[in-house]
Amino acid sequence: MNAESIVALVFSSLGFVTGGIGLIVAYLARVDARKANKIAAAANRISEEANGLSHEANEISRSSAAREAERHDAKWEGRWVRLGVYALRNVGTSTTHAGRVTVTVDDEEQTTTFDVLEATEDLELKFPRAAKTYEEEQREAEDYERRKTDAQRPRASSILSTFAVQPFEPPRPQVHHGIWTRVVWETALGTPKEIELSDLFAPIGPA
């Protein structure tokens, strides 16, 4: 092989090698570009999630601040409005939401719920056993008053009656009843509230 052939072979080999290197470089560039795109996409997702979390945190912070600054006036009072019907009323000035009320009269318990209860609006619960007890106590009180009147009525005068023992009606024992109330509700902004009330010397019917 002469010198010209050797030189041509060398240049030909160099061209092949150079072309191969170019192909390799182009392949690596494409691989790097795909990796870069994947990394960029992942970074975008992370950024979007972070922005979402940041937005939620801001909303929670604003909501918490609003709840802390919220003015809410709810005060509860109960009374008998009819025989066997006990009414609970919010005597405050604020509307109450998503509430649950449990009232126990002696050993009789009743529960009710409400979505919205305006201020000064009544929530009624029925107590049939309390109504029966009230009627029985009213009859006993009337019987007692009759016996007391009879015992105080003057008897016919005679020598024997002067020394006779006059009828005596002992005092009627006082009857007390217990009423326990539990109210759970939310404010307009969703702040949970709860209160428990008790009256150990409560009437069991309307006055």
CA angle 193, 196, 199 (to 5 degrees): 155
Say how far apart CA 92 and CA 17 lie, in whole Å: 92
pLDDT for 49: 77
pLDDT for 11: 44
* Least trusted range by pLDDT, from 49-53, 73-77, 107-111: 49-53
Q: Is a pLDDT exceeding 50 seen at residue 99?
A: yes
Tokens of 38: 């994947």
Say how far apart CA 21 and CA 163 lie, in whole Å: 142
Average model confidence (pLDDT) across the chain: 79
Q: Is a pLDDT exceeding 90 seen at residue 132?
A: yes
The arithmetic mean of pLDDT across residues 176-195, rounded, is 96
Between residues 30 and 86, the one the model is more confident about: 86
pLDDT for 199: 96
pLDDT for 2: 53
Between residues 164 and 83, the one the model is more confident about: 83
pLDDT for 122: 96
pLDDT for 14: 46
Say how far apart CA 156 and CA 69 lie, in whole Å: 78
pLDDT for 175: 79
The arithmetic mean of pLDDT across residues 146-166, rounded, is 63
pLDDT for 187: 97
Please state which architecture CATH assigns to domain 76-202. Sandwich (2.60)
Q: Is a pLDDT exceeding 90 seen at residue 195?
A: yes
Domain ranges, ordered by start, for the chain: 1-69, 76-202
Q: Is a pLDDT exceeding 50 seen at residue 98?
A: yes
Which sign does the torsion angle of CA 125, 127, 128, 134 carry? Answer: negative
Task: Return all residues near 87 (Cβ < 8 A) that are at least 6 apart.
Answer: 78, 79, 80, 81, 122, 123, 124, 125
Buried b (16+ CB within 10 A) or exposed e, 107-129: eeebeeeeeebeeeeebebebee
Q: Is a pLDDT exceeding 60 seen at residue 192?
A: yes
pTM of the entire predicted model: 0.62
* Least trusted range by pLDDT, from 51-55, 95-99, 146-150: 51-55
The arithmetic mean of pLDDT across residues 74-103, rounded, is 97
Say how far apart CA 77 and CA 122 lie, in whole Å: 10
